[in-house]
Amino acid sequence: MAKNVLIIGAGGVAQVTAHKLAQNASEFGALHIASRTQSKADDIIASVKAKGHQVEFTSHSVDAMDSKAVADLIRKIDANIVINVGSAFVNMTVLQGCIETGAAYLDTAIHEDPAKICETPPWYGNYEWKRREAVEKAGMTAILGVGFDPGVVNAYARLAEDEYFDKIESIDIVDINAGSHGRWFATNFDPEINFREFTGTVYAWQGGKWTENKMFEVGREWDLPVVGKRTAYLSGHDEVHSLSARYKDSDVRFWMGFGEHYINVFTVLQNLGLLSEQPVKTAEGLEVVPLKVVKAVLPDPASLAPDYEGKTCIGDLVKGTRDGKPGEVFIYNVADHKDAYNEVGSQGISYTAGVPPVAAAILVARGEWDVKKMVNVEDLPARPFLELLGKLGLPTRVIDATGDHPL
Amino acid sequence: MAKNVLIIGAGGVAQVTAHKLAQNASEFGALHIASRTQSKADDIIASVKAKGHQVEFTSHSVDAMDSKAVADLIRKIDANIVINVGSAFVNMTVLQGCIETGAAYLDTAIHEDPAKICETPPWYGNYEWKRREAVEKAGMTAILGVGFDPGVVNAYARLAEDEYFDKIESIDIVDINAGSHGRWFATNFDPEINFREFTGTVYAWQGGKWTENKMFEVGREWDLPVVGKRTAYLSGHDEVHSLSARYKDSDVRFWMGFGEHYINVFTVLQNLGLLSEQPVKTAEGLEVVPLKVVKAVLPDPASLAPDYEGKTCIGDLVKGTRDGKPGEVFIYNVADHKDAYNEVGSQGISYTAGVPPVAAAILVARGEWDVKKMVNVEDLPARPFLELLGKLGLPTRVIDATGDHPL
> For chain B, what is the mean pLDDT?
95
**Per the CB < 8 Å rule, is A184 touching B271?**
yes
**What's chain B's length in residues?**
407
Min distance A265 CA to chain B CA atoms (Å): 6
pLDDT band at A134 (very low <50, low <70, confident <90, very high): very high
* Average of per-residue pLDDT across B366-383: 98
Residue of B nearest to A274 (CA): B297
**What's chain A's length in residues?**
407
Domains of chain B with CATH codes: 3-148+349-391 (3.40.50.720), 152-346 (3.30.360.10)
- Per-residue model confidence (pLDDT) at position A188: 82
How far apart are alpha carbons A101 and A217 in whole angstroms? 45
- Per-residue model confidence (pLDDT) at position B188: 82
How far apart are alpha carbons A9 and A13 in whole angstroms? 8
DSSP string over B335-386: EEHHHHHHHHSS-HHHHHHHSHHHHHHHHHHHTTT--SSEEEGGGS-HHHHH
- Per-residue model confidence (pLDDT) at position B118: 73
Q: Which residues of B291-305 are buried (b: 16+ CB within 10 A; e: fewer)?
A: bbbbbbbbbebbebb
Residue of B nearest to A289 (CA): B293
* Average of per-residue pLDDT across B53-65: 96
Report percent pLDDT > 70 for chain B: 100
Residue of A nearest to B286 (CA): A288
Nearest by CB: B280 against A268, A269, A297: A297
Where does residue B90 fall: left (phi above 0), alpha (psi -120 to 50 degrees), or beta otherwise? alpha
CA dihedral A86, A17, A178, A224 (to 10 degrees): 110
Q: What ipTM describes this predicted complex?
A: 0.76
* Average of per-residue pLDDT across B17-32: 98
- Per-residue model confidence (pLDDT) at position A32: 98
- Per-residue model confidence (pLDDT) at position A114: 84
- Per-residue model confidence (pLDDT) at position A320: 98
Min distance B36 CA to chain A CA atoms (Å): 11
Half-sphere exposure of A182 (CA within 13 A, CB side): 10
Cis peptide before B299 (omega within 30 of 0): no
Collect all residues of chain B within an 8 Å Cβ-Cβ radius of residue A285: none
> For chain A, what is the mean pLDDT?
95
How far apart are alpha carbons A247 and A240 in whole angstroms? 10
Model confidence at A357: pLDDT above 80: yes
Q: What is the pLDDT of residues B260-292, one digit of tens each?
A: 999 999 999 999 999 998 999 999 899 999 999
Other CB atoms closer than 10 Å to residue B189's CB: what's the count?
19
Query: Taking Cα atoms as reference points, which of A315, A381, A324 lies closest to residue A163?
Result: A381
- In terms of Cβ atoms closer than 10 Å to its own Cβ (0-12, 13-18, 19+), residue B84 is buried
Min distance B59 CA to chain A CA atoms (Å): 20
- Per-residue model confidence (pLDDT) at position B401: 94
Half-sphere exposure of A39 (CA within 13 A, CB side): 0
Q: What is the pLDDT of residues A52-62, one digit of tens each?
A: 999 999 999 99
Adjacent-strand bridge partners of A327? A320
* Average of per-residue pLDDT across A382-396: 98
How far apart are alpha carbons B39 and B10 in whole angstroms? 9
Q: What is the pLDDT of residues A136-172, one digit of tens each?
A: 999 999 999 999 999 999 999 999 999 999 999 999 9
- Per-residue model confidence (pLDDT) at position A138: 97
**Per the CB < 8 Å rule, is A268 touching B265?**
yes
**Per the CB < 8 Å rule, is A293 touching B290?**
yes
Half-sphere exposure of B179 (CA within 13 A, CB side): 30
- Per-residue model confidence (pLDDT) at position A68: 98
Sequence-distant (≥ 6) Cβ neighbours of residue A164 within 8 angstroms: A318, A320, A322, A327, A329, A400
- Per-residue model confidence (pLDDT) at position B116: 83
- Per-residue model confidence (pLDDT) at position B219: 96
- Per-residue model confidence (pLDDT) at position B46: 97
How far apart are alpha carbons A366 and A378 in whole angstroms? 19
Model confidence at A115: pLDDT above 90: no
How far apart are alpha carbons A345 and A18 in whole angstroms? 11
Model confidence at A117: pLDDT above 80: no
**Per the CB < 8 Å rule, is B274 touching A273?**
no
Question: Do residues B215 and B233 lie in contact, with contact meaning Cβ atoms separated by under 8 Å?
Answer: yes
How far apart are alpha carbons B359 and B354 in whole angstroms? 10
Q: What is the pLDDT of residues B128-156, one digit of tens each?
A: 999 999 999 999 999 999 999 999 999 99
Model confidence at A118: pLDDT above 80: no
Report percent pLDDT > 90 for chain A: 91
Q: What is the pLDDT of residues A221-253, one digit of tens each?
A: 999 999 999 999 999 999 999 999 999 999 999
How far apart are alpha carbons B91 and A375 in whole angstroms? 65
- Per-residue model confidence (pLDDT) at position A189: 81
Model confidence at B393: pLDDT above 90: yes
- Per-residue model confidence (pLDDT) at position B181: 92
Min distance B109 CA to chain A CA atoms (Å): 20
Query: Taking Cα atoms as reference points, which of B118, B161, B123 lies closest to residue B144?
Result: B123
Collect all residues of chain A within an 8 Å Cβ-Cβ radius of residue B273: 297
Question: Do residues B301 and B187 lie in contact, with contact meaning Cβ atoms separated by under 8 Å?
Answer: yes
Cis peptide before A150 (omega within 30 of 0): yes
Helix (H) or strand (E) holding B44: helix B38-50
pLDDT band at B200 (very low <50, low <70, confident <90, very high): confident
On whether the pTM is more than 0.90, the answer is no
Q: How far is Cα of residue B53 from the mean position of the Cα atoms in its chain?
A: 26
Where does residue B212 fall: left (phi above 0), alpha (psi -120 to 50 degrees), or beta otherwise? beta
pLDDT band at B195 (very low <50, low <70, confident <90, very high): confident
* DSSP secondary structure letter of residue B148: T
- Per-residue model confidence (pLDDT) at position B119: 84
Question: Do residues B315 and B239 lie in contact, with contact meaning Cβ atoms separated by under 8 Å?
Answer: no
How far apart are alpha carbons B366 and B374 in whole angstroms? 18
Q: What would the 3-class secondary structure string for chain A be?
A: CCCCEEEECCCHHHHHHHHHHHHCHHHCCCEEEEECCHHHHHHHHHHHHHCCCCCCEEEEECCCCCHHHHHHHHHHHCCCEEEECCCHHHHHHHHHHHHHHCCEEEECCCCCCCCCCCCCCCHHHHCHHHHHHHHHHHCCCEEECCECCCEHHHHHHHHHHHHCCCEEEEEEEEEEECCECCCCCCCCCCHHHHHHHHHCCEEEEECCEEEEECCCCCEEEEEECCCEEEEEEECCCCCHHHHHHHCCCCEEEEEEECCHHHHHHHHHHHHHCCCCCCCEECCCCCEECHHHHHHHHCCCHHHHHHHCECEEEEEEEEEEEECCEEEEEEEEEEEEHHHHHHHHCCCHHHHHHHCHHHHHHHHHHHCCCCCCCEEEHHHCCHHHHHHHHHHHCCCCEEEECCEEEEC
* Average of per-residue pLDDT across A338-346: 94
Report percent pLDDT > 70 for chain A: 100
- Per-residue model confidence (pLDDT) at position B192: 86
Model confidence at B106: pLDDT above 80: yes
- Per-residue model confidence (pLDDT) at position B302: 80
Collect all residues of chain A within an 8 Å Cβ-Cβ radius of residue B292: 282-284, 286
pLDDT band at A77 (very low <50, low <70, confident <90, very high): very high
